[in-house]
Structures are given as C-alpha cells and as structure tokens.
Amino acid sequence: MAPTPENTPAGPVLKLAQPLPLDSGRSLADVEVAYETYGTLNADKSNAILICHALTGDQHVASPHPITGKPGWWIRMVGPGKPIDTDRFFVICSNVIGSCMGSSGPASMAESCAPYGMTFPVITVRDMVRAQVALVDALGIDRLHAVVGGSMGGMQALSWAANFGDRIDAALIIASTSRHSAQNIAFHEVGRQAIMADPKWNGGDYYGATGEDPRKVGPESGLAVARMAAHITYLSEQGLTEKFGRRLQDRDAKTFGFDADFQIESYLRYQGLSFTDRFDANSYLYITRAMDYFDLAEEHGGKLADAFRNTQARFCLVSFDTDWLYPTSESRTIAHALNAAGHPVSFMELSAPFGHDSFLLDNDDLDRVVKGFIR
C-alpha cells in the first residue's frame, strides 16, 4: 500500500514507508518528498507531467516561493493556457532529495535526532529520480505523459528515460547534458571549496541544537561566493555586456578601493547574499556532487545509445547558442545517440543572448517547441 501524502504548511510532503536504496550502496530511511501539483489528474491518470527542477530550484514551479514570495520559477511556461497547460495537464514538481525545501537533505533530522550534516549519504541524479518514482507511485500514476527539465532537471529527465523509460511517453530536455564535463566539475569544485573554506561551515555541522532555520546559520559568506561564481556560468559575455557593460554602481567615478564600483559587482554580491536566505550550504555541496557524478553513458556500459534501450519515449532536446555551461554539442551528442538508436527525437539550438539561463526567460521559439512537443 502506497503511503499517503501529508499536508504541511509548506505544501504536501510524502513520507516513504521503505528506505530508499541509493547508488552509493547505502540507503536512506524516513525519506520525505515535498512537492506541488497543478491542474487535475484525469480519470485514466494519463495526463500527468513531471517537471524536474535545476540545482537551486524547488517544487514551486508555478506557485509563489514560500520564503522569498517571488512567483514560481517557470510561470511563463506552466499554468492555465501556458505552453504546459495546467487546464489540460496534471503537473507535478517535487523538491529533489538532498535539497532544503522540504525533501530529505543534509539539514533533515537523522535517526540520532540531530541534523545529518555531512553524515547524509552522497546521492546521485538517479537517486533523485528514484524518490520521484516513489512519489509518482504514491499518486497512483503508472505512466507519465512527459518528463520535462532544464539543466539538472534535464539530467533527471534523461535518467527517467534511461532507468524508468517504460513509465514515460516523452522526455523534454532543455539546456542540459548527458555527463558533467571537466569544466562543469571544476566550477562546482570552486563553489564547494568556497563553502568549506568558510570557518562557519565547521565540517558541515553548523545547524545548532535549537532547530533554527538552516538558511539563517552557517557559512553564508562561502555560499554567497559559490553562488556568485556559479551565476557567471549561467550568463553569457554578450548578456553581461548588454546588461552591465563597465557601468559604475551609484557613483560617477572609480573609488580606488574595493567597494562594488561596477554594476556587475553589485549585482553578483546581491545574487550571492539573497541566495543564502533561501538555500542551505550543505545542500549545495550534495547536489553539485550529484551533478558531477552524472554520466549517463558510464551507467550503461559506456555507450550512450544503450542507456535508452528500454524506452519507447519521444525525445526533444533544446540548447541555446550562448550557453557555454552546457553547450549545444552536449545536446547534439544525446540527439545523435537517440537518432542512431531509432528513437523519435527532435533537436534544436535556439538563439538567445542570455546564456544557460535562457531556458527560464522569454523565448517564443521555446514556447512553440514545448507546446508542440507536449501536445
């Protein structure tokens, strides 16, 4: 009997009855999966779409973020009458395990009645997907009409196709990759080292005994620097030049000091600091690690095409011409592997000036593709 979800102030949370087996060989007990749904599941349960979020995203794809109050992160794509139309589809989005928005992660209580911290097991993208499968099971859904994701969400969609491919009809993968490159791992390592170099990180043990919000304590400076470095990789040189150039921030001349003279410095500092209000540093370590470990071909004997042997799903891959984090060549590699294996696959590189983040921003071609592919 599948466990029933519980409603909490932060939204519904599913508590798994069984420990979740993990790629590391360990298993995770008392797993909680926080999620949101939009729209209505139809009678034959055939209209469910799972949306997978990116590294620092969450389940609030089309509803306001409970901490920042900001609108859902993909409201331009998901909602009534939107390309992923919640008048037609039942949209599910869950917080990945390892994160800090209600699903089990390093800030959760371990059996020792203290937060896990660094005793939380290292997880993988496939482990995140296993938790999603448990959620889909609990919702009584056999097959998903589609799995959709950008960036790390795209990795989860690929992992669904590779590991649970008989349970999806379509996978839409945007600005993503089938494996983390040396450059991707390098940027993540810079972020992790920034967090670990902050004395307040304290080996991951910073949560305190009083059950304070993990986001209000801990290595805020390190996490902010990690976010600043990562944020640069989400943009493009062209986008940065258009938005900031060499313009100065609230001043007419350089100060010959180390204040944020330039607008770009001020912007990055703001991005770094505001991120620490909503994210747990240890979660950042765990999720970046999961992404670094992602290599779909390696999981399937070294041949990418073999990863998709057990699925009849349709695929669509979209990249952006200014995305240097997960460049077009990565999406094309996946598309060629799928095509060679005879899967129905579409691939396109769209033009947008905003780098990796383009998938979250206005793009008419993307809307048309998503709507047409989901259909």
Partner 1 sequence: MSPAATGTLRPDLAVIADHIQPGARVLDIGCGDGELMAALTAKGCDARGLEIDPTNVAACVGRGLSVMQGDADTDLVYYPDSSVDYAVLSQTLQTTRRPDLILENLLRIAPRGFVSFPNFAHWRVRASLMLGGQMPVTEAIPVAWYETPNIHHLTIADFRSLLAERGIRAERSWFFTGGQPSRQRFANLTGEHAVFLVTRD
Q: What is the set of active-site residues?
A: 151, 323, 356
Q: Torsion-angle region of residue 75: left (phi > 0), alpha (psi -120 to 50) or beta?
A: alpha
The contact set with partner 1 (CB under 8 A) reads: 314, 316, 332, 335-336, 339-340, 342, 344-351, 365-366, 368-369, 371-373, 375
Cβ distance to partner 1 smaller for residue 243 or 336: 336
State in angstroms the smallest separation of the CB of 346 from partner 1: 5
How far apart CA 185 and CA 5 sit, in angstroms, is 36
Exposure b/e, 106-142, CB count within 10 A at least 16 = b: bbbeeeeeebbbeebbbbbbbbbbbbbbbbbebbebe
- CA distance linking residue 42 with residue 346, whole number of Å: 28
Shortest reach from residue 364's CB to partner 1, in Å: 8
Least separation in angstroms between residue 349's CB and partner 1 is 6
Cβ closer to partner 1: 211 or 344?
A: 344
Of 24, 201, 183, 2, nearest to 97 (Cα)? 24
Q: Which is nearer to partner 1, 216 or 368 (CB)?
A: 368
Measure CA of the first residue to CA of the last residue in the chain; give whole Å: 33
Between 6 and 365, CB nearer to partner 1? 365
- Shortest Å, Cβ 363 to partner 1: 10
Residue whose C-alpha is closest to residue 129's, from 108, 110, 155: 155
Distance CA 155, CA 287 (A): 12
Q: Tokens at residue 6, please?
A: 């519980």
Task: Tell how many helices (H) and how many strands (E) occur in the chain.
Answer: 10, 13
Give the residue from 49, 48, 19 showing the smallest Cα distance to 31.
Answer: 19
Between 122 and 305, name the residue whose CB sits nearer to partner 1.
305
Is 180 or 356 the residue whose CB approaches partner 1 more closely? 356
For 40, other C-beta atoms within 10 Å of its C-beta total 12
Q: Least CB distance from residue 365 to partner 1, whole Å?
A: 4
